[in-house]
Amino acid sequence: MTEQRSILVVDDTPMQLKALSKILSSDYDVIIAQSGEEGLKLAHENKVDLILLDLNMPDLSGFEVLSRLKESEKTKDIPVIFITGSDSYDDELEGLSLGAVDFIRKPFVGAIVNMRVGLHIQLLEQNTKLIQQMKIIEAHSLIDGLTGANNRRAFDRVIKNEWSRALREKEWLGMLFIDIDKFKVFNDTYGHLNGDNCLKAISAVMQQTIKRGGDYVFRWGGEEFAALLPNTSIEGVLNVAENLRSAIAATPIQCDDEITFVTVSIGAGAIIPEGQEHIKGFEIFCTKLDKALYLAKENGRNRVEKVI
């Protein structure tokens, strides 16, 4: 069932409020206010989709109410239609310049009121759908299409926020670089389709193992993955890394009619940022993680090495 839209009508004349309520109440949830101050209060206290606002009121004019609505984060995006008996082009020009979306003239004609209100409700619904679609597109653009892990674009967004937070709160920020051992040999032996299945399986193990709220798993590129572990000291990072390494080593990989296994090498580190701008600070940290990963490869693979 579609939720009924809510319209706030602000007018100091009881007769006008009654007339508008009668016209709109069959299709909308109508909230009424008899002054500008009351209208502002109700707009902040209720979920309001559209406001019909009298231009001339004794306490606050419609222009003043609209200006205050636009100053508030909660109400600035609510569309406002002025209701007025004035034919002044200056009033219309000022109202539109302040952000009003339309004018309805008095005396009210029910069909015209319904058509104008309906048009703006329709525009509101179309805009809501567009925003939802954009959010879905944005979310998909941050996910690696093959493995379902976060991608590098997502990492670039997350690391800036997490680095700044760790710097501000003087907390640990842990990270892992994970590389599948001898993945080229795997591809050459079993083919690239099975290589893709291997990447999917490793990603699934990572996301099942690194599942604490606030932790992140990323596909870094190719056969490389990364994990970001906020508020985690080196001891915790090493514990997660070893659990991950052993879980992956124990995971069977289906390759056509054959079962095989792969291992990973992991570079692990943790840092409390100290006054470094996130790009420069992370570059230094990232270089150390790369060296730890390389050391894990040099020391025989299927192992964890920490940043020195």
Beta pairing class for 6-10 and 50-54: parallel
* 37 annotated active-site: no
Please answer whether residues 275 and 251 qualify as being in contact, where contact means their C-beta atoms are separated by less than 8 angstroms.
no
| Beta partners for residue 258, in sequence order | 255
Which residue among the candidates 45, 138, 171, 223 is catalytic per the annotation? Answer: 223
Please answer whether residues 227 and 219 qualify as being in contact, where contact means their C-beta atoms are separated by less than 8 angstroms.
no
Rounded to whole angstroms, the Cα distance separating 266 from 290 reads: 9
Rounded to whole angstroms, the Cα distance separating 76 from 70 reads: 4
| Tokens read off for 62 | 């419609």
Q: Is the dihedral of CA 281, 284, 288, 294 positive or negative?
A: positive
Torsion of CA 116, 121, 124, 125, to 10 degrees: -140
Q: Using only C-alpha atoms, what is the Rg of the chain?
A: 30
Phi and psi at residue 207, to the nearest 5°: -70, -25
Phi and psi at residue 133, to the nearest 5°: -65, -40
What is each CA distance from 192 to 4, 96, 226, in whole angstroms? Answer: 53, 60, 22
> Which residues does 263 contact at the CB level (< 8 Å), separation at least 6?
180, 181, 245, 248, 249, 301, 302
| Tokens read off for 81 | 């239609």
Catalytic residues: 223
